[in-house]
Amino acid sequence: MLPSIYHGIRRAAVHTRRTSTPPCRLLSTCDGPPVGLAHAETIFALSSGHGRCGVAVVRASGPASATALRCMAGLTRSLPPPRTALLRSISDPKSKEVLDRGLVLWFPAPHSFTGEDCVEFHIHGGPAVITAVLQALGSVPGMRPAEAGEFTRRAFQAGKLGLTEVEGLGDLIHAETEAQRRQALRQMSGELGSLYQDWSHKLKRCLAHVEAFIDFSEDELIEDGVLNQVDRSVCDLQAEMERHLKDERRGERLRSGVQVVIAGATNAGKSSLLNTLCQRPAAIVSPIAGTTRDVVETALDIGGFPVLLSDTAGLRDSPDLVEREGVRRARERVDQADLTLVVVDCARLPSDAMQATSFLQGHLRSVLLNQEQPDTVFPADRFLLVLNKTDLLPQEQRQKLVGELRQASGLPPLCLISCHTTEGLQNFLTVLHSSVKTLCGDPLSGAPTLTQARHRAHLQQCFAALAQYQRYRNIDLALAAEGVRLALTSLGRITGRVGAEEILDIIFKDFCIGK
Amino acid sequence: MLRKKLPPLQSFLHLVSRRSNHLARQQYDVIVVGGGHAGTEAAAAAARVGAETLLVSQKIHTIGALSCNPSLGGVGKGQLVKEVDALDGLCGRAGDWAGIHFSVLNRRKGPAVWGPRAQLDRQRYREFIQSELLSTPRLTVLEGSVEELLVTEANPEEPGHHRVTGIRLANGSHLISASSVVLTTGTFLSGSLFMGQTTSPGGRIGDAPSSAGLSQTLRERLGLRIGRLRTGTPPRIVRDSVDLSLADLHPPDAHPTPFSFLNTHTRCKPEEQLPCYLTYTTPGVERVVRESLHLNCHIQQDTKGPRYCPSIESRVLRFPGRKHQVWLEPEGVTSDLLYPQGLSMTMPPDTQLHLIREIPAMRRAEIHTPGYGVQYDFVCPTQLSPALQVKSTQGLFLAGQINGTTGYEEAAAQGLWAGVNAARRALCMPAVALSRTESYIGVLVDDLVSRGVTEPYRMFTSRAEFRTSLRPDNADLRLTLKGFAEVGCVSPLRYQEAVRVRDSLQDALAALQALALSAPSWRKKLPDIGMSEAKSTLLTAMDVLQYNDVSFEMLASAFPECFSPHMEFSQRLKIEAVYRPHCDLQRKEIERIQKEESMSLPQDIDYFSLPVSLSQEVREILDRVRPSTLGAATRLQGITPAAIVHLLNYVRHTGQKERRTHRNRADQKEEGDEKLCARHASLPQ
């Protein structure tokens, strides 16, 4: 399911013409050649952080960069001098609508970060502007959103990175992939996710049926009717996608901001922490274990950064069906979170420091139980340990505990607070603020609009590829099938790659194929 | 090649046996065990590369026999035949010699998926293959049964735990040594035949089972993981007993299309071709299958059989209540038998007769030879390198059904590639690679060695991600030039022909690009095409040729001075024009994959102690599969992009180190031991 830079291996890097190409060819008796095709992939991405930043930097790399620069910055005649900032109006290449006014920079190959032609757009940092510019870039022929780590990887292949940078590259890509994975999980768990999955499912069947017709119809009983079904499905899919791409309501409410999840055992004081942080009784608090059952969400502003704080059900095995569902949702949230606050009741800690450390490690593991790799080291920037109810501990024990636990290895950063007396809260807010700030520096975390821009670009490619099916349907079935393959590859960048074996499985399930 | 006269079979066999009696040498560069499609291609390819080669087969008479269906090619498989031919292999020319019914399948679906196919005359096919082998220099054929593989310690200069040094023949302790051995044992490796409730050892009816020693060596001495697969063949029907008027006639193409790039026509004249017939199963067939299930050992076993060439039993059990196709195919010009494609079965012979008589056209049919099932051992192919060499055993190559594939064409393709690599290894030449981006053979080999098989593997066009670039029409351009210059398995004659074709096509394409006219001028010249372009820009003849209803002939008659010299390639030019824009788009991706495939991962690498940050899970996958290139590693399930970057980094570092070591070694060469050095040079860098 990971959207990753290597998922493209089994696909052809073909970018068919945009939807802007007049579809009149479909009707003409004589089908002409595709013209003006780009010859390599050009990638683009937001390369600065998000949140409340004044300036955002959007970067593109690859042969179509110059075209993008020309048509978006209105530079019809010549490109700007290399590596020199130029103030321009930046507009949509299709609608010519002005999106923003900002700086553009042109870095011709090989003197650029990636060694390829590169362009930078320095624009205003608002999410609406950023999204608009990214979508505009996505509509330039031959351009697509970068996959995780792709810029760095291109730079690496061009020999543009120093030895120490190369050492860190694997980890960087890992982090970026992780961020995208969490982002994708959030997107895919909603209605939009099931819509894309449904499309992917239909496309797989379409492809399987076309492939079956190509590979088996000469020897086997595969009627021409199969292709008519595919025609209908492709038509329906095109119509659905077109409606979806035009729908400005975006379908789902955006959950913007850094995703912070409060998790832990029952009665550790998770809901109290939420209420303390948002300074209002957003969640019901009671001494009864298992009070919180569903996820309680609140949008917060922490030191100027947007945060979406979720309180979750206490993690325990419960015979109660409703509570069990609450626990499942809690674990799902932890899996998707940018930052998890693991809340522990101080009073339950063993008094010996060694024992306390292993208790906390065990506890962390149990909170993360659902993770794919339970034995991995906890990345320190994804978890904060919050020891609550310090007011229940005697003063000297509190200080001893802090001293010893801070020394202990294998634990994420930890804070001692009392939601009851608000002791330690200021310190906790400082730590939380710095974590959120770090997370906001990562352009990939917490911004669903960016993910949507990515999805949009892939959907547009998918849509355009389906037009290739239509165009070649009655002329060359191999080229028509290529269109469906490309459509599935583009959609697969959202829903996960589809291999040849999977298609063959559908073929053998749906048809009785001999010889 | 068709001009050549075949020697009469009698004298030919005499010649061969004389050769085997006077087995002059006890040492060869390459020994090929098995004389089926894989074995014959392997032996011929090894000899073409320049190795002294010995082909050992149980019976010389059955070399080149078609054990199952009397046909060659088809969709996907036809591509393999064209590619084997482009690398100067045998099966394409043999098909042109022995074909008695030619048709290009998928003619209406686009040239990338055309499937050249032919029904064959079994006897002519065998004759051709045997005669070719006989006239191949450096190739000796020996009748005999191989008792065991000779294995010794590995050469420490190369990766691997063992090294193969030759074979021992069954009769007495006759030893023959060789640097490389290619095993192409087909269904004979611990093969058992099934018919009804009886089981007997063997790989093909009428032939002796092969020695148990070989299977034992592979399993116990070399510690290879072995799996078991099954297949089957239908009964052969007496032609005169079938009422063909009750079946649909399927005539061949009016103009036979030869497989080989060297042939302009087939041996069989258009009007001499024989038809096929199509008929269908009835509910009675399903009833007989169900009633006889308790008498059918083979079908009760849970060994994996192919999903796409299933027995009639598994067809009706999996898809009950349907009618299934049965093709009645001629077995040869003089043969009085029919091959009922789709009726592979393993029930007792008398029940087989009941079954076929449930089909109207065969109501009074007689069975000449009953159908039967075969179960056989295969070596899990992930244990092989892309050269089809067993990774743990230096010099041991495997090809064909022993690698878990099914089909003549798949076997031939692997045989050729294993033969080439076996010879190159024996002659201390560096290994060569054939990528999945440039050939179906590459797709086949890569799928086998990096993904393995769970059922008999058959080629489909849908397995090739660059299908629109890997077309049957351009196999010569893709492979013949490389086959001559880099692989060394292509004769100068064929190479010259490929160069001529390439240059002529280039000239013609240049001429097509050079002629540019405005849309109105084109409309004037070619009034019949509905050109809707309202553009002011000029259109080249290449652009116009991409139009669906424009043929090269039309251009040639409109502009005879430009294009009539290129009429020989009119069809290829049309295909080239239509596909070129799509292939151009694929080229970048192809280049990227080829770059990753050019970075090899050492075979003896210890993934568990590799000093890079890889998760335990990734290490386990890498250790199990041992991908030979970075490209292969990226295609593995469960390998993360981060892991690839760490590997890439590691490969770059060690690559530099190795080159330094290599330079040092090269310096030592002055002091002597040239052989050692030559061996080192043959290692993958």
Q: Is B231 helix (H, G, I), strand (E, B) or coil?
A: strand
Subunit contact A218:B75, Cβ cutoff 8 A? yes
Q: Which residues of A204-216 are buried (b: 16+ CB within 10 A; e: fewer)?
A: bbbbbbbbbbbbb
> How many whole angstroms separate alpha carbon B283 and alpha carbon B316?
9
- Burial of residue A155 (CB within 10 Å: 0-12, 13-18, 19+) is buried
Which of A4, A14, A371, A469 to mutate: most B Cβ within 10 Å? A14
> How many whole angstroms separate alpha carbon A161 and alpha carbon B620?
30
Encode pLDDT of B596-606 as tens digits: 777 778 777 88
Encode pLDDT of B364-397 as tens digits: 999 999 999 999 999 999 999 999 999 999 999 9
Alpha helices in B22-178 (DSSP H): 37-49, 77-86, 91-98, 122-134
Confidence of residue B165 (pLDDT cuts 50, 70, 90): very high
Instruction: Judge whether residue A222 has pLDDT over 80.
Output: no
pLDDT for the residue numbered A270: 86
Q: 């070619």: which residue's tokens?
A: B526
Output the six-digit token pair for A230.
């595919």
Q: Is B371 on the interface with A (CB under 8 A)?
A: no
In chain B, which residues have their Cβ closer than 8 Å to the Cβ of A216?
75, 308
Q: Mean pLDDT, to the nearest integer, of A412-438?
A: 83
- For residue B120, which amino acid is it? L
> How many whole angstroms separate alpha carbon B605 and alpha carbon B610?
8
Q: Taking a C-beta distance cutoff of 8 angstroms, is the pair B330, B101 a contact?
A: yes
pLDDT for the residue numbered B21: 45
Q: Tell me how close the Cα of A14 comes to any Cα of chain B, in angstroms.
A: 5
Q: Is B213 helix (H, G, I), strand (E, B) or coil?
A: helix
Q: Which of A2, A170, A214 minimises the CB distance to B106?
A: A214
What share of chain B has pLDDT > 70, as a percent?
A: 89
Q: Tell me how close the Cα of A302 comes to any Cα of chain B, in angstroms.
A: 32
Mean pLDDT across chain A, nearest whole number?
Answer: 75
Half-sphere exposure of residue B442: CA atoms within 13 angstroms, side-chain side: 23
Encode pLDDT of B437-489 as tens digits: 999 999 999 999 988 898 899 999 999 989 999 999 999 999 999 999 999 99
Closest C-alpha to B305, from B219, B378, B216, B354: B378
Subunit contact B315:A170, Cβ cutoff 8 A? no
Output the six-digit token pair for B193.
């035949």
Lowest mean pLDDT among A338-352, A439-453, B500-514, B633-647: A439-453
Instruction: Judge whether residue A377 has pLDDT over 60.
Output: no
C-alpha distances in Å from residue B546, one per residue of A477, B478, B550, B551, B555: 15, 22, 7, 9, 12
Q: What share of residues in chain B are helix, strand, coil (percent, to 5)?
A: 45, 20, 35
Chain A residue closest to B340 (CA)? Answer: A515
Closest C-alpha to B295, from B246, B342, B355, B238: B355
Q: Which residue has the higher pLDDT, A445 or B63?
A: B63
Chain A residue closest to B317 (CA)? Answer: A512
In chain B, which residues have their Cβ closer than 8 Å to the Cβ of A149?
641, 645
Q: Is A344 helix (H, G, I), strand (E, B) or coil?
A: strand
- For residue B443, which amino acid is it? V
Lowest mean pLDDT among A89-98, B58-67, B103-112: A89-98
Alpha helices in B430-491 (DSSP H): 440-451, 475, 481-482
> How many whole angstroms separate alpha carbon B418 and alpha carbon B45?
9
Q: Taking a C-beta distance cutoff of 8 angstroms, is the pair A258, A433 a contact?
A: no
Q: Residue A111 gets which letter from DSSP?
A: S
Q: Which of B318, B530, B616 minimises the CB distance to A29?
A: B530
Q: Which residues of B458-470 are buried (b: 16+ CB within 10 A; e: fewer)?
A: bbbbbbbbbbbbb
Instruction: Judge whether residue A33 has pLDDT over 90.
Output: no
- Burial of residue B673 (CB within 10 Å: 0-12, 13-18, 19+) is exposed
Q: Taking a C-beta distance cutoff of 8 angstroms, is the pair A452, A250 a contact?
A: yes
Calculate helix-pair angle for B77-86, B408-426, nearest 10 degrees: 30
Q: Which residue has the higher pLDDT, A235 or A405?
A: A235
Chain B residue closest to A476 (CA)? Answer: B110
Q: Tell me how close the Cα of B218 comes to any Cα of chain A, in angstroms.
A: 29
Subunit contact A2:B645, Cβ cutoff 8 A? no
- Give contacts of B 567-586 with A, CB under 8 A: 577-579, 581-582, 584-586
pLDDT for the residue numbered B172: 64
pTM: 0.75
Q: Is B293 helix (H, G, I), strand (E, B) or coil?
A: helix
> How many whole angstroms separate alpha carbon B100 and alpha carbon B276?
10
Q: Is B435 on the interface with A (CB under 8 A)?
A: no
In chain B, which residues have their Cβ closer than 8 Å to the Cβ of A29?
530, 532, 549
Q: Is B641 on the interface with A (CB under 8 A)?
A: yes
Three-state SS string over B139-190 comes to: EEEEECCEEEEEEEECCCCCCCCEEEEEEEECCCCCEEEEEEEEECCHHHCC
**Cα angle for residues B46, B47, B50 (degrees, 5° grid):** 95
Encode pLDDT of A277-336 as tens digits: 877 776 777 777 777 777 888 877 777 677 888 888 888 888 888 888 888 888 888 887
Closest C-alpha to B613, from A264, A379, A94, A127: A379
Q: Which of B307, B461, B532 minimises the CB distance to A214?
A: B461
Q: Which residues of B524-550 are buried (b: 16+ CB within 10 A; e: fewer)?
A: eebeebebbbeeeeebbbbbbbbbbeb
Subunit contact A476:B617, Cβ cutoff 8 A? no
- For residue B350, which amino acid is it? D
- Give contacts of B 17-76 with A, CB under 8 A: 69, 74-76
Instruction: Judge whether residue B645 has pLDDT over 80.
Output: no
> How many whole angstroms separate alpha carbon A508 and alpha carbon A221?
13
Instruction: Judge whether residue B15 has pLDDT over 50.
Output: no
Encode pLDDT of A203-218 as tens digits: 999 999 999 899 887 7
pLDDT for the residue numbered B174: 82
Instruction: Judge whether residue A14 has pLDDT over 50.
Output: no
Instruction: Judge whether residue B525 has pLDDT over 80.
Output: yes
> How many whole angstroms separate alpha carbon B529 and alpha carbon B555?
12
Q: Residue B30 gets which letter from DSSP?
A: E
Output the six-digit token pair for A453.
């821009």
Encode pLDDT of B404-447 as tens digits: 999 999 999 999 999 999 999 999 999 888 989 999 999 999 99
Q: What are phi and psi of A412, to 5 degrees?
A: -70, 170
Instruction: Judge whether residue B13 has pLDDT over 80.
Output: no
Q: Which of B460, B549, B644 minimises the CB distance to A30?
A: B549
Q: Mean pLDDT, to the nearest integer, of B87-102?
A: 97
Chain B residue closest to A157 (CA)? Answer: B648
